[in-house]
Chains A and B, each alone.
Chain A
Amino acid sequence: MSVSKVLINNKINSRILQKTIPYMQRMFEVVILNQDGENEIIKALNETKPDVLFITKDNWSNAVQAYRNINKCKVVMFADEIVNNVDFTITNNIDLLSTPNTHMDLVLADLSVMNYLDRDVEKTDVSLFINDNTDIPSYIVDFLCQNYNVKIYGNKKINSPRYLGIPNSIEKMEILNKSKVIIDLGTYDYMDAILLGCYPVVYTNTSIPEEFTSFDDLISISEAMDYVQDESNQEDIKNKLSSLYGHFLQTNNYLSALINIFNNLGYAEQTKKLFEIKGEIINDRISNR
């Protein structure tokens, strides 16, 4: 069983789809559907004859179900519940976390970030990104500005000379490349940072793996800053970073999630090909390390 064509409803607001379409395009024809009315979907199904269909629950009409039954097409649905006869579900519903054939649409590492890795840049900075939706007490940012050598970026303006403006996505990679530490205030930048060799200090009050350094108040942030700036801890930090790097390279990334989806759908050939793509990325990184 193999795939030659995939039809994707472009209205699906899913992280994994946004990040993995380029990988899929390397293996088979990907048709993107920009209008998701019932008639448009039926027309697209008849014209493209896809082997795999990515749709929302709203698209699950009788006609689509009939097409699926007649043509043995696999259906991946973006939904908050398990729907009968759907082969795989991508969901935001945390209650479905351990349900088989389901992918939680969480933020994962994007391996394509590693294309921006620049080993010639000296890592010196402690950087902090802050966005309008960053939910963090402002006194923590003020405390960092007044007491530590940090550089602040992001679309939430901070009233400090240490605020250096709003970077675009390429500039953000430049910043991460020259940063030895990044303070993640809930922007999920820690994953990109790890893949670019920058150690994350994360704002959270929940339990996270011990390789991370976390904080949730002024005392813990000052302890965290002292820890990452102490020269005697640099070897320890390097080991932790290496462990985190391996973790995100091997499992917690969008490409691995896509492999899981195609494996669950029973497409052995595509799964193998995706493993090869992942292997190329990893080998490329290892040879450059």
Chain B
Amino acid sequence: MIGFLIDNANDAQMVNSINQFAKHNLCHVFSSALTPNLLCNTMQRYEAFHFNGKIITDGFRLSQQLKHLGYCKKRYYYIKSYEWMNTQRLPYSIMKNTLLHPNIELIVNDHSQVKLIEELTNKKIKYVMNNWDVNVLRQIADE
């Protein structure tokens, strides 16, 4: 069972992949925004605290919630872009609790990101998932 912790459903490719994935797999979406185009169980973001499956987020801000999700089997931060570069003031503690946190596993969007992220985090990249590739989502669900 996979949970998606998302800001909104504005990313068409993400919506498409989640909808495809949901046809044959159990999944939940946790979001504070209305997501009428997502054809699966959608709940408020705070409901993720009770979720006991594998959870994925692609937002740097949302990834700060991951370490607090005590019941999750696995927590994945899907790095599509280097969002931490956009913050005005970045305390190191935020990086420690997200990208560098030992209980948060990492997914990158492209093979070109692997070297940099592995060097920065001293962690192995778990998956390379191009644009919410539904096949990779299935691999994550099956692992």
Give the interface of A toward B (CB within 8 A). 124-125, 149, 151, 153, 157, 159-168, 171, 175
Contact = CB atoms under 8 A, between A and B. Distances in A.
Nearest to B93: A171
Contacts of B36: none
Interface string B85-104: 10011111111100010000
Nearest to A149: B119
Given A163-B85, A165-B84, A153 B92 contact: yes
Contacts of A175: 92
Contact of B120 (A159, A164, A167, A168): A164
Given A124-B122, A149-B119, A151-B120, A160 B93 contact: no
Given A124-B122, A157-B90, A164 B85 contact: no
A162 B115 CA distance: 12
A175 B82 CA distance: 21
Most chain-B Cβ atoms within 10 A of its Cβ — which of A149, A151, A165, A166?
A165
B116 interface: yes
Contacts of B85: 159-161, 163
A171 B96 contact: yes
A166 B120 contact: no
A182 to B, nearest CB: 15
Contacts of B100: 164
Contacts of B120: 151, 161-162, 164
Contacts of A159: 85
Given A124-B122, A159-B85, A164 B92 contact: yes
Given A149-B119, A161-B116, A161-B120, A166 B92 contact: yes
Question: In the complex, which range does the number of interface residues on chain B fall in?
Answer: 10 to 19
A120 B88 CA distance: 34
B62 to A, nearest CB: 18
A163 B87 CA distance: 11
Contacts of B89: 157, 166
Nearest to B122: A124
B92 A167 contact: yes
A124 B85 CA distance: 23
Nearest to A161: B82
B122 A166 contact: no
A124 B118 CA distance: 12
A130 B91 CA distance: 14
A165 B90 CA distance: 5
B90 A171 contact: no
B123 to A, nearest CB: 12
Given A164-B90, A165-B90, 4 more contacts: A162-B116, A164-B95, A166-B89, A171-B92
Closest 9 CB pairs of A and B: A165-B90, A165-B92, A161-B82, A167-B92, A149-B119, A164-B95, A165-B95, A171-B92, A166-B91
25 contacts: A124-B122, A151-B120, A153-B92, A157-B88, A160-B85, A161-B84, A161-B85, A161-B116, A163-B85, A164-B84, A164-B90, A164-B95, A164-B100, A165-B84, A165-B91, A165-B93, A165-B94, A165-B95, A166-B89, A166-B91, A168-B91, A168-B92, A168-B93, A171-B92, A175-B92
B90 A166 contact: yes
Contacts of A125: 122
A163 B96 contact: no
Contacts of A164: 84, 90, 92, 95, 100, 120
Contacts of A168: 91-93
